[in-house]
Amino acid sequence: ATAPSPSEPGRKTVLVLGGDGFCGWPTALHLSEAGHDVIIVDNLSRRKIDLELECASLTPIASMNERVRVWGDVSGREIRFVRLDVARDYDLLAALLAAERPDAIVHFAEQRAAPYSMKGAREKRYTVDNNVGGTHNLLAAVVESGLAAHTHVVHLGTMGVYGYGTSGGEIPEGYIDVLLPGGRPSKILHPAYPGSVYHATKCLDALLFQFYSRNDGLRVTDLHQGIVWGTNTAATGRDERLINRFDYDGDYGTVLNRFLVQAALDIPLTVYGTGGQTRAFIHISDTAKCVALAIGNPPEAGAPVEIFNQVAETHRVRDLAALVAAKTGVKVANIANPRNEAAENELEVANAKFRSLGYDPVTLEAGLLDEVALAKGDEATLRKLREVLQEQSLSS
Ligand code: NAD
Highest averaged pLDDT of the listed ranges 76-80, 231-235, 326-330: 76-80
Note the pLDDT tens digit of each residue in 345-354: 888 898 888 8
Q: Does 202 participate in catalysis according to the annotation? A: yes
Q: What average pLDDT score do residues 28-37 get?
A: 97
Select the more confidently predicted residue: 165 or 49. Answer: 49
Residue 4: pLDDT band with limits 50, 70, 90: low
CA dist list (Å): 65 to 3, 25, 61, 178, 390: 17, 12, 11, 50, 33
| Domain-wise residue ranges, the chain | 13-248+282-312+347-364
In Å, the largest CA–CA distance within the chain is 68
Select the more confidently predicted residue: 91 or 335. Answer: 91
> Can you give the pLDDT at residue 26?
98
> Can you give the pLDDT at residue 153?
98
> Can you give the pLDDT at residue 166?
56
> Can you give the pLDDT at residue 5?
60
> Can you give the pLDDT at residue 348?
87
| Superfamily of the domain at 13-248+282-312+347-364 | NAD(P)-binding Rossmann-like Domain (3.40.50.720)
Phi first, then psi, for residue 16 (nearest 5°) are: -110, 100
For residue 208, how far is the Cα from the chain centroid?
Answer: 19
At 84, which amino acid appears?
Answer: L
Share of the chain above pLDDT 90, in %: 70
> Can you give the pLDDT at residue 164?
64
Cα separation, 192 vs 165, whole angstroms: 12
Cβ < 6 A, ligand 1 pocket: 18, 20-24, 42-46, 85-87, 108-110, 112, 130, 134, 156, 158, 225, 227-228, 254
Note the pLDDT tens digit of each residue in 70-85: 999 999 999 999 999 9
- Catalytic residue of the set 127, 158, 201, 314: 158
- Catalytic residue of the set 90, 126, 164, 198: 198
Would you say the C-alpha torsion 248, 251, 252, 258 has a positive or negative sign?
positive
Cα separation, 35 vs 12, whole angstroms: 8
Instruction: Indicate if the pLDDT at residue 375 is higher than 80.
Output: no
- Centroid of ligand 1 to alpha carbon of 145 (angstroms): 25
Lowest mean pLDDT among 89-93, 201-205, 215-219, 277-281: 277-281
Residues 6 or more apart from 220 whose CB is under 8 A from it?
152, 153, 154, 155, 209, 212, 213, 299, 305, 306
Select the more confidently predicted residue: 306 or 357. Answer: 306
Residue 395: pLDDT band with limits 50, 70, 90: very low
Q: Are 104 and 11 in contact (CB under 8 A)?
A: no
Cα separation, 47 vs 51, whole angstroms: 7
Lowest mean pLDDT among 1-15, 42-56, 111-125, 195-209: 1-15
Note the pLDDT tens digit of each residue in 135-187: 999 999 999 999 999 999 999 999 989 886 555 688 999 999 999 999 999 99
In DSSP notation, 183-209 reads S-EEEEEPPP--SSHHHHHHHHHHHHH
For the CA of 109, the nearest atom of ligand 1: 7
Tell me if residue 376 falls in helix, strand or coil.
helix
- Centroid of ligand 1 to alpha carbon of 341 (angstroms): 24
Residues 6 or more apart from 387 whose CB is under 8 A from it?
none
Q: Tell me which residue has its CA closest to atom 22 in ligand 1.
A: 109
Q: Are 93 and 49 in contact (CB under 8 A)?
A: no
Pocket residue to mutate for ligand 1, from 83, 91, 110, 258, most atoms within 8 A of Cβ: 110
Q: Tell me which residue has its CA closest to atom 35 in ligand 1.
A: 156
Lowest mean pLDDT among 90-99, 174-183, 190-199, 258-267: 258-267
Q: What is the ipTM metric for this complex?
A: 0.99
Instruction: Indicate if the pLDDT at residue 390 is higher than 70.
Output: no
Note the pLDDT tens digit of each residue in 275-314: 998 899 999 999 999 999 999 999 998 899 999 999 999 9
Q: What average pLDDT score do residues 87-103 get?
A: 98
